[in-house]
Structure 1
């Protein structure tokens, strides 16, 4: 149903830069209308140098909560009052709840990622997997893969110091099966992997959308390939993987599940997840 904003409407939102590509405002506002909840969700293009001021401003304005996307997922931690355990291990936040003027940080990317690959039919238990990237999404995917008992988790990232930082951080929490793959060893590592996850922004609409993060020929026939980018649904990376006979998982299910988990944190209401997915597929098909 169509909602009217009034003096009791509570504020939710997304902070990041850029945010113009995001489906989160449409997704959450659709749900809020469907469930007749008096909130509104909007997107704020918040530059990195204004991050602290932006968080203070949203709290001062009485926001109930907000999502966090690139490039703020890691840099936002010092500005929060409390951080849940897994988010603290990861060192990245994607969801913030504001209660009585205090900010609570969560990472729903972990559960969103786990649900997306399991529901697609892939189990990482006992397998070698590779993650492309070393940012907040990659950190969440690595924790998810560890919780699902992957045998070896390769990190493939141009900045190997950043990848090494993840390994050293996670070793403190007894996660000791992560490898930092050197650039020259990328092809060999990928050919030994049962699952390859793109956790970079490469391929996203409006950002290197005609590029794949790795050469498609590095992907073996029959392996699973997952792209956390959800717009477009089928990135260049996934198209090349499909041509090579790989089984592909797009980023939409992760968006749906991490978004639904965040929605429940803010509102206390469990949203209809299949309805979210149907709505988003329709929006993307219509060219958003």
Structure 2
């Protein structure tokens, strides 16, 4: 009877270049990421006078419940959270769906006119939206100042980014999969939902997360297109809350509001980080 000797796998030793890279990244991250994050968190639980010093020291008196309770009640946090969700979630779904359909058409069409439309759509990433014509159109259709009007503007201005990312991804996919579905009698819509959409899931997931971050943090267009506190998103509630005091900025409450505004995005990142990295890697390999 022969015995099989199991040889333990050797651990890979880090090369000196890799160690230097990690050290440099750590030295870069601590002052530019770690310190601002700590400053925001620690000052969100201080008293008003102590937080005004903007120091990184621990608080002498903790005011966690007072600060965050004030943000919820005085800062209209849940109103802003509701409006941000009503804008961000449906908008991301619509932009991802319409953008992927348009990208599929651009990637498979041999016509020069389609390529022209693709470049025009991609150009919208660089060009700023026309604010005055947008407000005029929304006013004409009685949507100015509403969440519906703001959502339509976001859909129109964010389509270009999804089209740009997804078109290159589709061009790297074999055409035989779509031809096989067509031979089996599938319609174009059926081919999209049964064949293309599962294959596009990685890049669409990455695009959706990037869109969600962009829309969630949008302040400029929300300030111009939304009217009334009942339609304010989280960036607008933060702005009105920070500027509501007559004696100066209450930094402890501002930092607490920033923490609570960023909390949903942090939770999304913690849940989706592996899929985002996988989508970026697969997108890079496809390209």
TM-score, normalization by structure 1: 0.25
Task: Return the structure number with greater relative CO, CA threshold 8 A, min gap 6.
Answer: 2
The structure with more helix, counted as a fraction of residues: 2
The structure with more strand, counted as a fraction of residues: 1
Q: Which has the greater radius of gyration?
A: 2
